[in-house]
Every structure is written in structure tokens, then in C-alpha cells.
Structure 1
Amino acid sequence: MLTYAEALATLVREAHPLGTERVGLSVSAGRLLGADITSPLSLPSFDNAAMDGFAIRSGEGDLPAGTRFTVAGMQAAGDDTAAWPGSDACEIATGARVPDGFDTVVPVERCERNGDSVQLMQDEKRGQNIRRTGGDIAAGAVALRAGRRIDAAAIMLLAALGIDELTVVRRPRVAIINTGSELHASGPLPDGGIHDSNGPFLEAMMASWGVEALPRRRVRDTGDAFHHAVADARAAGADLILTTGAVSAGRFDFVPSALEAMGARELFHKVAIRPGKPILAARFDDGPLVLGLPGNPIAVAVGHRFFVAPVLRAMAGLPPEQPQRVRLDEAYEARPGLQHFALGRVAPDAEGRQVACVQRNQAAYRIVPFTQANAWLAADSAFGDVVDAWPLDPAAAP
């Protein structure tokens, strides 16, 4: 049986990069940048006033209270006047271009206007209240690095730079197939039936990552529905097929043999982890990677967080995610020889240091502890004094 590290290395080797495509800024939110963005201009692109007041040609040194200047005119935001030759002051609005040779802006509330002249009411520093060209970013500098997820802040910057089209990583096409004759949608349940929670969970996590989701399928444990669902996913160009259930060793655990019959090459089956030990990975040589997750909800969550998420990162060309090392507040019993994944909470202690505690009453079928956690905690064989902490949502990881 493979260790977690061995299984993950096998998967990452099989996660083929997806390539890039060009999209408009208006539809880029949530996408991953496929190339560095170089700033086409400086921000600000010209010296401008940081507040309403008077632009002054001060000359040398600071400006003492009582200094009087003749006001040449008004410089408003958007005006293209580059200079006021022969003048030492002009009224100026916030964001307006500072005329050539003017080097200081004095706030209007610290000036006394009298007709066409203005007098300073207090000492003022030379060079103050001007936003300098390139003070935010210089032309030619890297504005955003490849691999950055495009959020609202990135869109603000790109829009300010006048960029309306950019290179992004192609979204992975992912198919989800939930197996189980007992699974039903919401609504009244028949005897022996349960609501399907794994499918909606995986759909939500795929949406968080920003994949191109193919129609999700729910299939029974008998018949040809699974074969048809896999065939449809391959025909639709899936990069990754996620299945849940039917990967263990029972009579109805048909997924391994079904994939083999369809020509998939098994990469591994069963990994020394808890929960989620029966996990299966396979590859269609002319098509998608397949990850078969166990059916218990928290085993599905572990499979997604620690197998699916690294595969999606590798497909996007991102480096491996790194956990945060945190101190555990108290010992947690773990079975030797397994990589353990536990739900927990990470919070600062009285001295401001990050400390982790394991959620109690955890089990592969219990969902409530998942809703109360804010991190995954991982340890090899035993939970010692220090553990690895991972964000619950891998899309939120750096």
C-alpha cells in the first residue's frame, strides 16, 4: 500500500498542464493568470494633486506662513493644461495634473483667498500632497504574477492599467459521478435511502476553484449507468473524473473493475491514510485522470482536499501548496502507520501564537464537525506537539 506522499507524487506526475487562453477582463474573475502582467504605463501616469487646494511653485525650501501668491487660474481633474508659465500658483482639484514646475499642493482649508491672490495660513512643507508619477507602479514593472487568482483587487489594478484582455490558465473540465443505489436528491426519502451530500459538496468545491463543470451524474450500483456516465465524460473532453463510492472491497464496490474493463490504467488503489484509505486513481491513456473517492462524506472531503486539490494546482502549473506549522493544544490519539487528516480549529493563544485543537467526535460519516472547523490538521502516524494546518478551502490557499 502506498504512503500518502507516494500516492500524491504519482498523481502529480499524471496531472498534465492545461495550457492557456485569452479572455476579457469582464469575465476573468476567479481565473488564474497564465502569464505575468507587465504594466503598460505608470500609475499615477502624471503628478497629480492629493487634495483640493492650491498648487505652488515654491522654489527652494519650505514655505513660511504668510507667504502670498498670485493665482493664475483653475486646474480641474481631466484638464490637459501642462503648464502655467509665468505663474507661481493655481487653484487645483484632487486628481488634477500638477502643472510643470509646480512642486507643492497646499490644502484649501489652510489658505486664505483674496481675489486673485492666496496667502498661506501656516508653515507648509515643500513637495507635499502630490501623488508622484509611478508612485503606485512604474511602466514596465510586473503588476501581477502568473498563477495569481484574479480577484476584485486584481481587476481594479488591471482596469486602472487599461488592460481589457489577459492570458489565463484554461479551466479544467471536471465530471462528477456519484455512485450508490441508496442516493436520492432532496425531498422525501424511501426506506433505506439517504440524501446525496457528496455530489453537492464536490460541485461547490469545484465552483470555488473555478472549473468547467460537466453535468453531474448519480448512478445506481447495478446496470450500465456508470459505464455510460464515464463514456459521456470522456466524450465531453473531461480532464478529470471524480467518482464517489464503490471503491472498497464489498460486493457492490464495482468501480475498480468497471474502470479496468473500460481500458483505464490503475495508478493505485488504497493509500495508508485515515479517513479515505480505499481511494483509487486511474488514467485513460487517451483521456482523463480518474479519482475514485470513498463514499463516506468526510472521506470525500479528505480526498478532495489532499488529492483533488493538488491535482488541480498541478494542472494549473501552480507550485505545491505549503501548510502552516502550528502547535497542538493537547495530544490526539492516532493509529500508527497511517497519515491522519483531522478537522480542527486554529486560533491565536493569549500570547498571539497560533494553536490548533482537534474537533472532537470526528468520524468519516459525521458532517457537523466539518461545519465547525476552520482548518485541516495533518500528521504522519501520530499527532505530536506540532502539526500541519491547511485551509479548509484550497482555492483560498496562496
Structure 2
Amino acid sequence: MVDYEQALAILLRGVARGDSETVASAEADGRVLAADIVSPAALPRFDNAAMDGFALALRGRALAAGHELPVRGAIAAGVPAGEGGDGAWEIMTGAALPAGLDTVVPVERVDAIAGEDAGAPPIGIRLRESPAPGANVRRRGEDVGEGEPVLKASERLDSARLMLLAALGVTRVPVVRRPRVALIATGRELVDGGIADGAGIHDSNTPFLRLRLRAAGAEVVMEERVADDPVAFAAALDRIRERGVDLVISTGAVSKGRFDFVPGSLRARGAELLFHGVGIRPGKPLLAARLPEGPLHVGLPGNPASCAVGLRFFVEPVLRAMLGLPAERPLRLPLAGPAWRRPGLRTHLHARVTCDARGQLTVHPLPRQESFRLRPFLVSQAWLVLPPADGDDGSLAPGEIVTVYPPGHLDALGWTQTA
């Protein structure tokens, strides 16, 4: 048995960022950039009005309140501005500033001088106050300069970044290919949805893994279910091999019992067994192997909590490496109540996080966390990770600082506000 840090280092050895591909920006939400993005244009693209009003050419002059100016024309957004000149130009928000004009006076800070025709545009304006030179103008490149680096490789595209790309006119972006993952659920007891007869149980791990893997940035390309049969397991691996996957995840049959056939089947296939058994709780029987065809194989225990811990703390770090993301940095928060860990075992617990009126976050381990239980998943907001106890006393007192991870490596940590 190896400890967690040793196991993770072994698992990540040789894992590299995947190939890049180019996709439409509109379809790139959640994808990881494979290259830096340099702005192909300036933002704003041209000098424009920050609000509805009248554009003037002050050229450093001071115009006093009461000064009158003739209105020379009107400029709408999306219309080429052309040349300006003396006088005032009625202008709308976002409209290009005519050449030579340098200030916009808001419409509410002038009095319109009407012409003889009722309903016609004003023929002049009277200033209610002295305008500040350069006011209410958005200058070209004030937000983003042309040729300026704006996004870096390994950034994950979200609504803010995609908004920026859209404003710059970037319609296609280089992203890291999603890791391709295959799932194998083992066990003759597994049955499809409906009423499970006799000793059958429903396969809950596969739908959980499928959704969590997608949320973690992977593409699930194949799902298999086999009984406790090495021949059927080998056949499933043959089918998976043809799909060119990066990672194979199996559930169940990795412990030390007579029906736990996965380790022996992998050896018989010529796989390199990287480790089998890790000093963690839950999930100690977890194994990892390198298949002769190249992909990694992670064998997760069948109990739901053990399966979830293996996914979160072994598979997801592998996915981060394949996506070109840096190692994850957890939070450090104080315990709200006592916690307990075992000697020699790193402990992973479902937890809730609260924020009090002073803005202090604290973490609460949930009760009754045997590895078969599903109810803790319903209320859990985080994973609480405790290092192995140094001796026989594995207790931790309230207020001690502990390590906290969000539910998934790409998730934000949630919390509940308290009074």
C-alpha cells in the first residue's frame, strides 16, 4: 500500500496535455485554451459617445454656462461619423465621434433651441453648465489595445471570456481536446433501472461518474457493464481499445476477495500495475495500471463514497494534467466541530460550509458517512480532507485549520449563510 501523495505522483507520471483543436467560440464554453489569445483589434474600435447628448469640439477651450451652439447634424450608432466641425452634433450612445470632436455633453445638461417647424430636431443648444473637456467619450483602445495579450493558454473559457472574444470578433479559438474516457461497471449484481429482483442492485456509479466526468472536462465515449467474468472484462477492454481513449475507469472488483478479478485480469493482459491499495479512507483498494495499448486504467472500488473519492482525488487530477491546467489549490478553513481520522489513512469526508455574519467560513463534517451511503451526497457542498493521525489520537478540535475542496475540480465552493 502506498500513501496518497506517492500514488498521485505515480499516476501523474507521464501524463501530458492533450492535443489542441480549433472550435467555434460559440461552442467553447467550459473549454480550456490551448494557446494565448492576442487582441486582433482595439476596444473600443473607435472613439464613441458614452451617453446620449451633443458632441462638441472644445480643443481645450472653456465654454461657460449659457453659451449657445448651433446643431450641425445628428449621428446614430452604426453610422460612419465623417468629419466634425464647429457647433454641436446630436449623438447617441455608442455612436462614432466625428473627427475633430472631443467632448460629449449629456442631453439633460443642455436646453434645446427649437426651430420654426414643430417636432423638428433642435437647431441649437444652450449649455446649462460649463462642460469638462474630453468628458463622456470612450477612446479607441481604452479597454483593450490592438495586439495586446488578453487571454492565456490554460484559461478556462466562461461567459466573461467569451463575451470578450465576441467583442473582438474572434469566432474560432484553439482549445485542448477533451480527454476521452471509457467506463466499465463490473458485477453480476448490477441491473438496469426498474425493480431489482432477488439480490440485484441498481448501477448508481455509472450515471454519477458520467455526469461528474463531463463536469470535470472529459468526454465519456463508451460505457460497458460486465459480470464478474474476466473473459467479458477482457472483451470490453478490446472494444474500448478500438475507440482510442485516454483513460479507462472501472468500478468494483478491485479488493482482495475471490471475486475481485480486475487486478489479475489486467496483469494477464500485460498491463503494468502502478499501484494497488492506497492509504486513504474510503477507497483503500483503488488501483491504477498502464494498459499495454497506452491508456491509463483506474480501478475504483464499488461502494459509492469510495468511487466518488477515487474520482475526485485521483481521476480529476489526471484530467487536469490532460487539460493543461495547473495543480489544484484547496482552501484552508477552520473546523466548526470535532472531526476524527485514523492512523495511516488520509480521510475524505462529505462536508458543508457555512458563512456567519462576520464573513467567517467554517467547515462541518457530515454525520453517518459509511461508504455505501448516498444521502450525504444530497447535502454535501465540499470535500473535507484530513491527514493521517500521527498516533492513536486521531481527534481534531473545533477551530483547527483543515483542507477543503469543492465537489469537483472545476466547481466553485458553495456555502450556506448563517444568521
TM, length-normalised to structure 1:
0.96
* 2:52 corresponds to 1:39: no
**Following the alignment from structure 1 to structure 2, what is the Cα–Cα distance between the partners of residues 212 and 327?**
36
Q: 2:143 aligns to what SS in structure 1?
A: coil
Trace 1:20-39 onto structure 2 (pairs within 5 A): 20-39=20-39
Q: Please report how far the alpha carbon of residue 100 of structure 1 lies from its aligned counterpart in structure 2 after TM superposition.
A: 2.2
**Following the alignment from structure 2 to structure 1, what is the Cα–Cα distance between the partners of residues 196 and 61?**
82
**Aligned residue type for 1:272:** G
Q: Which residue of 2 aligns with 1:394?
A: 409
Q: 2:266 aligns to what SS in structure 1?
A: helix
The superposition leaves residues 236-274 of structure 1 with CA deviations (integer Å, 9 ceiling, x where unpaired) of 101000000000001110000011111110000000000
Q: Once structures 1 and 2 are overlaid, which stretch shifts more, 203-212 or 332-341?
A: 203-212
**Aligned residue type for 2:409:** P
* 2:262 corresponds to 1:263: no
Q: Once structures 1 and 2 are overlaid, which stretch shifts more, 11-20 or 256-265?
A: 11-20
Q: Please report how far the alpha carbon of residue 123 of structure 1 lies from its aligned counterpart in structure 2 after TM superposition.
A: 4.1
Q: Which residue of 1 aligns with 2:392?
A: none
**Following the alignment from structure 2 to structure 1, what is the Cα–Cα distance between the partners of residues 62 and 238?**
77
**Following the alignment from structure 2 to structure 1, what is the Cα–Cα distance between the partners of residues 56 and 84?**
11
Q: Which residue of 2 aligns with 1:351?
A: 358
Q: 1:304 aligns to what SS in structure 2?
A: helix
For structure 1, which runs of at least 5 residues remain unmatched after alignment? Answer: none
Percent of matched pairs sharing the same residue: 47
**Aligned residue type for 1:108:** V
Trace 1:1-398 onto structure 2 (pairs within 5 A): 1-60=1-60, 63-85=63-85, 87-114=86-113, 115=115, 116-222=123-229, 224-382=231-389, 384=396, 385-396=400-411
Q: Once structures 1 and 2 are overlaid, which stretch shifts more, 329-338 or 90-99?
A: 329-338
User: Cα 1:83–1:182, aligned 2, differ >3 Å: closer, same or farther?
Assistant: same
User: Cα 1:89–1:293, aligned 2, differ >3 Å: closer, same or farther?
Assistant: same
CA RMSD of the aligned region, Å?
1.6
**Following the alignment from structure 2 to structure 1, what is the Cα–Cα distance between the partners of residues 226 and 64?**
82
Q: Which residue of 1 aligns with 2:120?
A: none
For structure 2, which runs of at least 5 residues remain unmatched after alignment? Answer: 116-122, 390-394, 414-419
Please say if residues 217 and 319 of structure 2, whose CA atoms lie closer than 8 Å, have aligned partners that are also in contact: no
User: Cα 1:66–1:308, aligned 2, differ >3 Å: closer, same or farther?
Assistant: same
Number of equivalenced pairs: 397
TM, length-normalised to structure 2:
0.91
**Following the alignment from structure 2 to structure 1, what is the Cα–Cα distance between the partners of residues 30 and 279?**
34
Please say if residues 341 and 387 of structure 2, whose CA atoms lie closer than 8 Å, have aligned partners that are also in contact: no
Q: Please report how far the alpha carbon of residue 55 of structure 1 lies from its aligned counterpart in structure 2 after TM superposition.
A: 0.8
Q: 2:239 aligns to what SS in structure 1?
A: helix
**Following the alignment from structure 1 to structure 2, what is the Cα–Cα distance between the partners of residues 215 and 170?**
17
Please say if residues 40 and 140 of structure 1, whose CA atoms lie closer than 8 Å, have aligned partners that are also in contact: yes
The superposition leaves residues 79-119 of structure 1 with CA deviations (integer Å, 9 ceiling, x where unpaired) of 2123213x231000111011222222122122211142111
**Following the alignment from structure 1 to structure 2, what is the Cα–Cα distance between the partners of residues 213 and 5?**
27
Q: Please report how far the alpha carbon of residue 168 of structure 1 lies from its aligned counterpart in structure 2 after TM superposition.
A: 0.6
**Aligned residue type for 1:121:** R
Please say if residues 104 and 136 of structure 2, whose CA atoms lie closer than 8 Å, have aligned partners that are also in contact: yes
**Following the alignment from structure 2 to structure 1, what is the Cα–Cα distance between the partners of residues 68 and 166?**
41
The superposition leaves residues 286-311 of structure 1 with CA deviations (integer Å, 9 ceiling, x where unpaired) of 32100000001011111111001100
**Following the alignment from structure 2 to structure 1, what is the Cα–Cα distance between the partners of residues 199 and 63?**
85
